[in-house]
Amino acid sequence: MSKYSEFFQFKVMISSEIIRTSYSVGAIIITGFGIFRMVGDLGYNSILIGIIIVLMGNIVWRILCEGWILFFSIQETLSNIEKNTRQYSS
């Protein structure tokens, strides 16, 4: 079976690459927003809120992206197990 036919039969997942790219873009946006929050309003609360946004925002975003990658990784692993068992059973 060629890569193209596996792609169109949804046996090859591209979601993990999209999630990795989305993580990078999201981390940049979260960090930028946190820095903007720190610099935009020069009060003590704004600096503290900006630091919390940068730290907690990136941690939560990372956990969410890792969860999605784990979900798709399980699917890929199951597909590989299926391929290997077909190979040995025939």
pLDDT tens digits for 32-45? 999 999 888 777 78
What's the whole-model pTM score? 0.73
Domains of the chain by residue range: 18-85
Helix (H) or strand (E) holding 59: helix 44-89
To the nearest whole percent, how much of the chain has pLDDT over 90? Answer: 41
The predicted structure's pLDDT at residue 25: 97
- Is 66 within 8 Å of 27 (Cβ atoms)? no
The predicted structure's pLDDT at residue 16: 80
Q: What is the pLDDT of residues 48-81, one digit of tens each?
A: 999 999 999 999 999 999 999 888 888 888 878 8
- Whether pLDDT at 19 is above 60: yes
Tokens of 16: 């993990």
